[in-house]
Chain A
């Protein structure tokens, strides 16, 4: 198996050269940090990944979690990694000092997640889920809750989850029915079913703390009636002892990929003794959860790009050593075969992967950079970053998720028949990566969010601010003659985006909601391609600056290689918006007109 699963050089290029994250250390909140610290964080993440995660990448797929004697059994490395993540301070790395964290910028935290996820996505999610669940307690919970749960969640002894989905309520969370009945003792009696809950039970930890959505008895219908609860698997009794909280595992699902991490069906309150503790105010649960989900969504996009990165390096290694065929110009059949990386079509597949992975990663860091600045800025500036983050989150989740599937598919294709066989890791990456357009909101739902909510929110203010940001990059790129054509092309792409957006929003103004949103997934796709082109142009400016110096050896190769990936994106990916724009402008409404019974034969 390939030893390389990410490019550290590219990570540092993005962190220090494109996003200059060391600028953050000028703000008091981040002042204890420095590039030296960030480098050490990345080194530590690499070491953990190589020692603990990568070696069990295949094993965790082959021996998937099972439901035995009322408990889910997972690979023993899960517990070891949780403990190592706890001891290393990874679970609360970007929490404040007050919460025992290190105030690490989100961007650096994500860079570490990228490393973990590329080494072994299934293993990487356990601490992440805990971190996310604890974040809800930190933001909206009581001091008493923090006292009760933080220490053992942050040490990796207890698992955290996000428990929302129910059999009848996946995309449509307003339809959940898990019931929370108030008691006089300060807690609620919980009753209901949850499904597909990641890591909701396993023997790698001593306890599980669910951050769960439920409806308080007699709550108003719809999203306004949803509240957030802490529901531990084992609650802490008056003497500080753990006692079973009537949270039962009723099943485990066997999945296509991403098999090292279980998704679990839970049954709550079978014996009428499941206690839930309200977090924050009643009926605000979904709003609270969305705060967490936005961070989790960026992590999902990152996980997708990370798996694609590992697949790319496995494919690259293979294409360099597999002799097959001869150059188109070589007619002599007695000549030795060439490594397949010599073939233009194989290089096309490799460039495609790089352009997707590195473009996506740039967009994800762009979003986390907004989040990092949101934390330290105030007033108008802060609002601006919040708007951008809000607008771009569905894109940063969906573009990498959808495109990583195609990227890994091309990686697999590089290996021909071997790519389809389990002697090579590509088939596993291909299965693993398929999850991302599904969890944390399907692509379809994010399309509707982007077009139906984000573009028009505050009278289109976020969209306007976004266009300003892209124009800033266009302006800077305009100073480099070598970037002339791409700069022009991005400008033209923005014209297309504006044209399509106005056309679609026009339907909304006419009250034609059906036509407005019918193709919002395609709109998301179009928006995503342009957004990533923007990120590539941003990277290209940095590449140009570097190439102005007289580079040689590995450094020259790095920038020249990146420059090809940049050019590839503009020549091969960006033009795809024309077809999308054509369909979107046509608004033929056939998906509205087509009806159920016409699908039958």
Chain B
């Protein structure tokens, strides 16, 4: 089975994010970069599937040179090879342009199933997996928490409010992974040593023959406004204090 896992490198959830003074993006200095946690579920599911049905896992990522660390991490977890799409015009690309680059690279290799994270924790767009499926003209199951693959089809469970959908699709297809799908394994030391020797193809936009013209552009980034200070209601009488809380909720906060 030919399995593809798309991964993105994102700032660690603990990283202190600062917006650049000109609002064009975030300050990258001093940030620790990690594999997008939802992509980890995708990689893990890809590896489990390979272990069950045989085959190969290829990881694909779009990003600058440092993205190689994330590709190597997936290789250390057990993937066989990598494709690194590295082109300055694609750094911070919008969801469409990113999906388009991924689609172009994936089209060049055989694939039966493609895993993405259901969203990336940096931009929080949640679109790349879906656009990728559209561009490849294959079915998609999104936000998946359970997956079975066999007999040329995939059965996926997707939680919705108060229920869960059980979806069945033919292959090839795109699956976007949600927390709960599995417990991602840790990169082992032997895995890390082997990862170094696994092949990674580095390609730019020209090699893929794609347009890098964005469909959406980030005009400006601004940090959320600082939270106004809290208010302490003074007084001895609990009933009067409660009444004051209700008055403030009504008149100032306008929430009741």
Query: Contact at A37–B29, with CB atoms within 8 Å?
Result: no
Mostly helix, strand, loop or mixed at chain A's interface? Answer: helix
Residue of B whose beta carbon sits closest to that of A553: B29
Query: Contact at B29–A40, with CB atoms within 8 Å?
Result: no
Query: Contact at A34–B196, with CB atoms within 8 Å?
Result: yes
Closest beta carbon of chain B to A595's beta carbon, Å = 57
Q: A32-B193, A32-B196, A37-B196 are in contact. Are A48 and B69 (CB under 8 A)?
A: no
Task: Tell me which residues from 79 to 126 in chain A have a Cβ below 8 Å from any Cβ of chain B.
Answer: 84, 87-90, 93, 102, 104
Query: Contact at B192–A553, with CB atoms within 8 Å?
Result: no
Query: Contact at B190–A89, with CB atoms within 8 Å?
Result: yes
Of the residues A8, A84, A93, contact of B186 by C-beta under 8 Å: A84
Query: Contact at A8–B32, with CB atoms within 8 Å?
Result: yes
Closest beta carbon of chain A to B41's beta carbon, Å = 14
Closest beta carbon of chain A to B11's beta carbon, Å = 13
The docked-state distance in angstroms from the alpha carbon of A507 to that of B190 is 54
Confirm or deny: A554 has a beta carbon within 8 angstroms of a beta carbon on chain B. yes
Closest beta carbon of chain A to B54's beta carbon, Å = 22
Query: Contact at A40–B188, with CB atoms within 8 Å?
Result: no
Confirm or deny: B195 has a beta carbon within 8 angstroms of a beta carbon on chain A. yes
Task: Tell me which residues from 39 to 75 in chain A have a Cβ below 8 Å from any Cβ of chain B.
Answer: 39-41, 43-44, 47-48, 51
Q: What residues on A are CB-neighbors of B152 within 8 Å? A: none
Most chain A beta-carbon neighbours within 10 Å: one of B188, B189, B191: B189
Complex interface bits, B91-117 against A, C-beta within 8 A gives 1, otherwise 0: 000000000000000000000000000
Complex interface bits, B29-42 against A, C-beta within 8 A gives 1, otherwise 0: 11010100000000
Residue of B whose beta carbon sits closest to that of A87: B188
Q: What residues on A are CB-neighbors of B69 within 8 Å? A: 36, 39-40, 43
The docked-state distance in angstroms from the alpha carbon of A104 to that of B189 is 9
Task: Tell me which residues from 59 to 105 in chain B have a Cβ below 8 Å from any Cβ of chain A.
Answer: 68-69, 72-73, 76
Q: What residues on A are CB-neighbors of B187 within 8 Å? A: 40, 43-44, 47, 88
B-side interface size class: 20 to 34
The docked-state distance in angstroms from the alpha carbon of A553 to that of B18 is 11
The docked-state distance in angstroms from the alpha carbon of A584 to that of B157 is 75
Query: Contact at B186–A48, with CB atoms within 8 Å?
Result: yes
Residue of B whose beta carbon sits closest to that of A4: B14
Q: What residues on A are CB-neighbors of B27 within 8 Å? A: 553
Q: What residues on A are CB-neighbors of B34 within 8 Å? A: 43
Q: What residues on B are CB-neighbors of A552 within 8 Å? A: 29
The docked-state distance in angstroms from the alpha carbon of A48 to that of B189 is 12
Query: Contact at A555–B188, with CB atoms within 8 Å?
Result: no
Most chain B beta-carbon neighbours within 10 Å: one of A44, A51, A84, A87: A44
The docked-state distance in angstroms from the alpha carbon of A89 to that of B189 is 5
Confirm or deny: A3 has a beta carbon within 8 angstroms of a beta carbon on chain B. yes
Q: What residues on A are CB-neighbors of B188 within 8 Å? A: 44, 87-89
Q: What residues on B are CB-neighbors of A47 within 8 Å? A: 186-187
Query: Contact at A37–B186, with CB atoms within 8 Å?
Result: no
Query: Contact at B29–A555, with CB atoms within 8 Å?
Result: yes
Q: What residues on A are CB-neighbors of B30 within 8 Å? A: 9, 553-555, 558
Task: Tell me which residues from 164 to 189 in chain B have a Cβ below 8 Å from any Cβ of chain A.
Answer: 186-189
Query: Contact at A554–B190, with CB atoms within 8 Å?
Result: no
Query: Contact at A554–B29, with CB atoms within 8 Å?
Result: yes
Chain A residues with a Cβ closer than 8 Å to the other chain, count: 29
Of the residues B14, B32, B76, contact of A40 by C-beta under 8 Å: B76
Q: What residues on B are CB-neighbors of A3 within 8 Å? A: 14
Q: What residues on B are CB-neighbors of A87 within 8 Å? A: 186, 188
Complex interface bits, A545-564 against B, C-beta within 8 A gives 1, otherwise 0: 00000001111001000000
Closest beta carbon of chain B to A317's beta carbon, Å = 12
Q: What residues on A are CB-neighbors of B193 within 8 Å? A: 32, 37, 102
Query: Contact at A93–B189, with CB atoms within 8 Å?
Result: yes
Closest beta carbon of chain B to A372's beta carbon, Å = 17
Query: Contact at A40–B195, with CB atoms within 8 Å?
Result: yes
Residue of B whose beta carbon sits closest to that of A100: B190
Residue of B whose beta carbon sits closest to that of A101: B189
Query: Contact at A102–B190, with CB atoms within 8 Å?
Result: yes
Query: Contact at A40–B190, with CB atoms within 8 Å?
Result: no
Closest beta carbon of chain B to A134's beta carbon, Å = 16
Of the residues A51, A102, A553, A554, contact of B189 by C-beta under 8 Å: A102
Q: A47-B186, A553-B30, A555-B29 are in contact. Are A41 and B192 (CB under 8 A)?
A: yes
Query: Contact at B73–A40, with CB atoms within 8 Å?
Result: yes
The docked-state distance in angstroms from the alpha carbon of A90 to that of B188 is 8
Q: What residues on A are CB-neighbors of B196 within 8 Å? A: 32, 34, 36-37
Query: Contact at A44–B186, with CB atoms within 8 Å?
Result: yes
Q: What residues on A are CB-neighbors of B192 within 8 Å? A: 37, 40-41, 44
Closest beta carbon of chain B to A34's beta carbon, Å = 7
Q: What residues on B are CB-neighbors of A32 within 8 Å? A: 193, 196
Q: What residues on B are CB-neighbors of A9 within 8 Å? A: 30
Q: What residues on B are CB-neighbors of A8 within 8 Å? A: 32
Most chain A beta-carbon neighbours within 10 Å: one of B72, B73, B188, B195: B188
Query: Contact at A41–B29, with CB atoms within 8 Å?
Result: no
Query: Contact at B73–A90, with CB atoms within 8 Å?
Result: no
Q: What residues on A are CB-neighbors of B32 within 8 Å? A: 8
The docked-state distance in angstroms from the alpha carbon of A398 to that of B189 is 31
Closest beta carbon of chain A to B184's beta carbon, Å = 10
Residue of B whose beta carbon sits closest to that of A86: B188
Most chain B beta-carbon neighbours within 10 Å: one of A34, A48, A554: A554
The docked-state distance in angstroms from the alpha carbon of A88 to that of B188 is 4
Residue of A whose beta carbon sits closest to that of B187: A44
Closest beta carbon of chain A to B28's beta carbon, Å = 9
Q: What residues on B are CB-neighbors of A558 within 8 Å? A: 30
Residue of B whose beta carbon sits closest to that of A44: B187
Residue of A whose beta carbon sits closest to that of B190: A89
Of the residues B14, B72, B189, contact of A88 by C-beta under 8 Å: B189
Task: Tell me which residues from 296 to 354 in chain A have a Cβ below 8 Å from any Cβ of chain B.
Answer: none
Closest beta carbon of chain A to B198's beta carbon, Å = 12
Residue of A whose beta carbon sits closest to that of B185: A87
Q: A8-B32, A554-B29, A555-B30 are in contact. Are A40 and B186 (CB under 8 A)?
A: no
The docked-state distance in angstroms from the alpha carbon of A555 to that of B68 is 22
Q: What residues on B are CB-neighbors of A90 within 8 Å? A: 189
Task: Tell me which residues from 9 to 43 in chain A have a Cβ below 8 Å from any Cβ of chain B.
Answer: 9, 32, 34, 36-37, 39-41, 43
18 contacting pairs across A/B (C-beta < 8 A): A4-B14, A8-B32, A32-B193, A32-B196, A34-B196, A36-B196, A40-B195, A43-B187, A47-B186, A48-B186, A88-B186, A88-B188, A88-B189, A89-B190, A554-B29, A554-B30, A555-B29, A555-B30
Shortest Cβ-Cβ A-B pairs, 9 listed: A554-B30, A89-B189, A553-B29, A88-B188, A40-B192, A554-B29, A102-B189, A44-B187, A89-B190
B interface residues with partner A (beta carbon < 8 Å): 14, 27, 29-30, 32, 34, 68-69, 72-73, 76, 186-193, 195-196
Give 13 new A-B contacts, CB below 8 A, not counting A40-B72, A43-B187, A89-B191.
A4-B14, A8-B32, A32-B196, A36-B72, A37-B192, A40-B76, A41-B192, A87-B186, A88-B188, A102-B193, A552-B29, A553-B27, A554-B29
